[in-house]
A and B are shown apart, each in its own frame.
Chain A
């Protein structure tokens, strides 16, 4: 119920942004507004979001258990291409919000393996 509700709010907010954006830009045609720049530099935001997930305790635990230095993993995020970033984020979105139950641990390990593959830390999948 709430998720539906907040999704609707988000849609309204984004629509408002899209409607008002051209208005703001016509005021100073050649200056690129900060808001536009934020959308354009989505990559920065994406890296932030991914690193925030990697910083989660459950993910860090999983990384350490697999012998990967979390700091090292985060540094690798920076050098991914936009396409790789997108794939990585889609994987991370599947992670539970931070759970530590049995189901989640299995899920986290599976997803972290995919993450490591994407980050070129392991070649787990390419060996099959």
Chain B
């Protein structure tokens, strides 16, 4: 059932591909001929270069290549991308997401299984284009700068690798196919290693794309807060409340910002509001209660 389902997916994707009437090729994408089994560092360096990072496969090898496994893990590709201050965005498992990324100028790093399900041969390559006339994908792959592959063959190898694909985004850019949830997850994961100014830039882009998404607004407020820009944080939170007035998390954070800015009454008002809109005993409620206790404690023993 599962395998049949996947096979169907390839068929659906083939139909998506056949609808493509225009070719696309990111000809300026660099090429790092892969030496032996180090396709991970080569592929990652390729997409990072396009995202403006000056890095070679050799630089990346130590952080993502595991000699014992003779390969790299997807998780490490994501982490290495973050450590170079670029947002790794895992694409939706759809060929249209790959094509849209290409048309937006992003080469796509893909994982392929060139073997069989039972005897996998994992391989990373970079999709740089699609020729609609000849119906071929163009890949930077192994020692080939312009490897042309039939869609069906590519899709089968990609399917056996769980349709895994990622792009490396410059700070502040939102992929055309991004859903708010997936993109904000990528940003939240990035936040830990990203510097706070970059985080502000990223969340500001998310707010610009999805002005009514409360999580994006929360992220922006939090990024300003982490950057020490309390007034801007307050404004970002207040903006969310205009469309989402019963958001306990926003009210909680707003209370904290008011408090730190010395607006004691406003802080108490906001935290009471947070507690009144949150479901009693929900996580939000407990967190808000904690904030209330901390605020009143600090007021008592300044």
> Which residues of chain A have a CB within 8 Å of any CB of chain B?
1-3, 6, 9, 12-13, 20, 24, 28-38, 40-41, 44-45, 48-49, 52, 57-58, 95-101, 103-104, 107
On whether A9 and B179 interact (CB within 8 A), knowing A33-B222, A34-B222, A96-B4, the answer reads no
Q: Is A96's CB under 8 angstroms from B5's CB? A: yes
Q: How far is the CB of B143 from chain A (nearest CB, A)?
A: 25
Q: Is B113's CB under 8 angstroms from A2's CB? A: yes
Q: Is B226's CB under 8 angstroms from A28's CB? A: yes
Q: Is A104's CB under 8 angstroms from B8's CB? A: yes
Q: Is A34's CB under 8 angstroms from B184's CB? A: yes
B37 within 8 A of A: no
Q: Which residue of A lies closest to B189 (CB)?
A: A35
Nearest first, the 5 closest Cβ-Cβ pairs linking A and B are A96-B5, A99-B8, A99-B5, A30-B256, A30-B291
Q: Which of A48, A49, A96 has the most chain B CB atoms inside 10 A of its CB?
A: A96
Q: Which of B211-238 contact A (CB under 8 A)?
A: 214-215, 218-219, 222, 225-226
Q: Which of A2, A31, A45, A95 has the most chain B CB atoms inside 10 A of its CB?
A: A31
The one of B8, B113, B187, B218 in contact with A100, judged by C-beta atoms closer than 8 angstroms, is B8
Contacts of A20 in B (CB 8 A): 192
The one of B1, B73, B290 in contact with A30, judged by C-beta atoms closer than 8 angstroms, is B290
Q: Which of A30, A40, A95, A96 has the most chain B CB atoms inside 10 A of its CB?
A: A30
Q: Is B295's CB under 8 angstroms from A38's CB? A: no
B100 within 8 A of A: no
Q: Which of B1-45 contact A (CB under 8 A)?
A: 1-2, 4-9, 11-12
The one of B9, B179, B184 in contact with A99, judged by C-beta atoms closer than 8 angstroms, is B9
Q: How far is the CB of A106 from chain B (nearest CB, A)?
A: 11
Q: Is A97's CB under 8 angstroms from B185's CB? A: no
Contacts of A107 in B (CB 8 A): 1
Contacts of B219 in A (CB 8 A): 34
Q: Which residue of B lies closest to A3 (CB)?
A: B162
Total inter-chain residue pairs, C-beta < 8 Å: 121
Contacts of B118 in A (CB 8 A): 1
Chain B 92-118, CB-CB to A under 8 Å as 1, else 0, gives 000000000000000000000100011
Contacts of A104 in B (CB 8 A): 1, 4-5, 8
B160 within 8 A of A: yes
Q: How far is the CB of B44 from chain A (nearest CB, A)?
A: 17
Q: Which residue of B lies closest to A9 (CB)?
A: B75
Q: Which of B175-225 contact A (CB under 8 A)?
A: 179-181, 184-185, 187-189, 191-192, 203, 214-215, 218-219, 222, 225
Q: Which of B73, B184, B189 has the most chain A CB atoms inside 10 A of its CB?
A: B184
Q: Is B283's CB under 8 angstroms from A40's CB? A: yes
17 CB-based A-B contacts, threshold 8 Å: A1-B117, A6-B162, A9-B74, A30-B255, A32-B249, A33-B188, A34-B188, A34-B222, A35-B189, A40-B283, A48-B180, A49-B181, A58-B8, A98-B12, A99-B5, A101-B7, A103-B4
Q: How far is the CB of A77 from chain B (nearest CB, A)?
A: 14
Q: Is A35's CB under 8 angstroms from B188's CB? A: yes
